[in-house]
Structure 1
Amino acid sequence: MKLYIFSILTIFLSGFVSCQNKPIQTIEEVSNAKLNEAKVYILKKQKINSEFDYSKLNDIDAHYGRFPKFKESDDIISAFEPIKGQYNYYQFIATYKGNSYNDGGPTLIKEFHDILIIKTDSKNQIIDAYQYTLEWSEPDFQIDVYKSTAKNLTLTDNLQLNTLKLNRTYDLWNEKDKTLNENGIIRLK
């Protein structure tokens, strides 16, 4: 009997722990996007005298993962919020429709939100940029964090996303192609 109760308790607790995820902040926005349409990144926030919080961006799982080293009281989107600094900060959101995993069932079409943050100098020369899908729910979250490798690029209205040369920040099984291969337009207005 003790073995039976222990087995049931073990199964219950292992399921409880493996399903543990922090909730993400939902972006309420109506989208008329169609499946596989180019993303449009809309400016949501602009600040001066700002900086990226690299401690969170470069190790997002340590702050928001399944077993975080740091106890954050906020949602994962806060990793993409600015802190005090000396640069210009831009935050964009793209709302789009895409295919979603359905645990072996038929593929679902779902609405997703990508966040793009860009840091520029006073002449709008891009210094750094990161992109992430807010609905990403598979650990490690760092797998979906992309960082710009572009040089000598100015932030302008209707800039093409691929000019940022976004690369995955997480080494996933020594993959050769880490580049984000998606189309999108960055809108400043």
Structure 2
Amino acid sequence: MRKLIVMLFVCLPSLGFASGGGGPMMSANVDVTNTASLQRGAQTFVNYCLSCHSAQYMRYNRLAEDLGLTEDQVMENLNFTGHKIGEQMKIAMTGDDAQRWFGTAIPDLSVIARSRGADWLYTYLMTFYVDESRPFGVNNVRFPDVGMPHVLSELQGVTHAVFHEEVDEHGQTHSTFEEIEILSPGSQTEDEYERTVLDLVNYLVY
């Protein structure tokens, strides 16, 4: 399993999970009894999320126990931080560092599924799209004006959001989201990407 080196700008805290959102909600249909899904989700998490977001309420040895892996498998394939098997899944950046560098703390993802819900996370990760007016060139249907790059874009590809606009009797224009179109494919097919996101959300729920 390769370790993805994520550029520092991905760590910008404006992800802002506490902010509101819009757009329709998709159903995640998670199954935390699916061990294979949890293992794949853990792999995606450590490769794409753990560089900037900690999971301090989880320890590597507990991960091995719950996911049916040996401690050697976890240390070889899921631990790229240099921590010991009994230590928490933390990152090197401290809260003070994040506050000083970025102006706010980066959220820990240990219990993000409890605060947001599986469907919210699934919809969020499925609905990034290109928007050159945004600082990182992307926006999000579920989380309008998101300040985070699409860290899974190499998997999903370049996307476009299709909106239907209507003018009401007061002359106000309203946009309704219809679908996400793939403009340039990523390394995964649409079905493969959906499974990757579902596995990641499944892991976060677990």
Q: TM-score range by the shorter chain?
A: under 0.3
Q: Which has the higher contact order (CA 8 A, sep 6+)?
A: 2
TM-score with structure 1 setting the length: 0.27
> Relative to total residues, which structure has the larger helix share, 1 or 2?
2
Highest Rg: 1 or 2?
A: 1
TM-score with structure 2 setting the length: 0.25
